[in-house]
Amino acid sequence: MKHPLAVLAVPIGNLEDISKRAISYLADADYIFAEDTRRTKKLIELLKISTNASIKSYREQNHDIAAPLIKKCIDSGAKVVLVSDSGTPAISDPGYLLIEDLRQHGYEVIAVPGPSSVIAALSIAGISTEKFLFLGFFPKKGNKRFEELDQARQIRATWVLLESPQRITKTLKILADKYGDSLKVAAIKEISKLHERTFYGNISEVYAQVCKSNTKGEWVLVGRFVE
């Protein structure tokens, strides 16, 4: 019997966000393919999950080696789980290439859903979620950084960006200079963690607030143009 690949979400900060179903899948797995095997082993220890699973690496950089191994494991009847370092695999994390590969070759893939910084940010941003675009990480340079935002503006959609602590103030400054008060944003850091905080207002106001704060931690930006 072939078991489907289980694409499993892990906590983005607070360990209590792990689901009972996710714990069950991790405990029963024969193989866990992880973005960073050390982080996944540490997570399993912290969650006190008893598992005999072999934890192996899957990243897009080693896809050509890991994907055939994953298929072989599934073909043998093993229970295989895919995780990323935090949150949901394949959402600005490794996984898309593997899942596409498996589907093209007739393998079944199921979701074991759970934490996602994108959905969590949208839920608390105070900005319309009726229609939204997830744009991943903000490009470092070039006109492409504005093309997708302008498209979101044209279709009147909310957009979501991810940003690092090293670049958050620079990104906010770029957006403030480009769009001024026509852009309303929520800049949210450290979702589900001890120092979670949301900065809300027009882009210039949020930029000023963030400049006065500790920017350490992972950030999610939710924005919408105000016409």
pLDDT confidence band for 125 (50 / 70 / 90): very high
Amino acid 139: pLDDT: 87
Which among 161, 163, 191, 217 is positioned nearest to 13, based on CA atoms?
191
Give residue 28's pLDDT. 98
Q: What is the DSSP string of 63-129?
A: HHHHHHHHHHHHHTT--EEEE-SSB-TTSSSTTHHHHHHHHHTT--EEEE----HHHHHHHHS-S--
Is the pLDDT at 142 greater than 80? The verdict is no
Is 40 in a helix, a strand, or coil? helix
Domain chopping of the chain, boundaries:
5-112, 117-225
The CATH number of domain 117-225, selected from 3.40.30.10, 3.40.50.300, 2.40.30.10, 3.30.950.10: 3.30.950.10
CATH topology of domain 5-112: Cobalt-precorrin-4 Transmethylase; domain 1 (3.40.1010)
**Single-letter code of the amino acid located at 23:** I
Please determine, for residue 80, whether its predicted confidence score (pLDDT) is greater than 90: yes
Tell me the pLDDT band of 203, cut-offs 50, 70 and 90: very high
Structure tokens at 126: 């105070």
Distances (CA, A) of 81 to 70, 117, 204: 10, 20, 43
| pLDDT 10s digits, 15-33 | 999 999 999 999 999 999 9
- Residue 163's pLDDT is what? 96
Average pLDDT over residues 190-201: 96
Q: What is the mean pLDDT of residues 200-226?
A: 97
Q: Dihedral sign, CA of 99, 33, 29, 16?
A: negative
Q: Are 114 and 31 in contact (CB under 8 A)?
A: no
Give the predicted TM-score (pTM) of the model. 0.92
For residue 173, pLDDT beyond 80: yes
Mean pLDDT over all residues of the chain? 96
Residue carrying the six token digits 């991810």? 162
Residues in the chain: 227
pLDDT at position 226 = 93
Cβ proximity of 70 and 98 under 8 Å: yes
Query: What pLDDT sits at residue 204?
Result: 96
pLDDT at residue 141, rounded to an integer? 81
Residue 5's Cβ-count burial label (10 Å; 0-12, 13-18, 19+) is buried
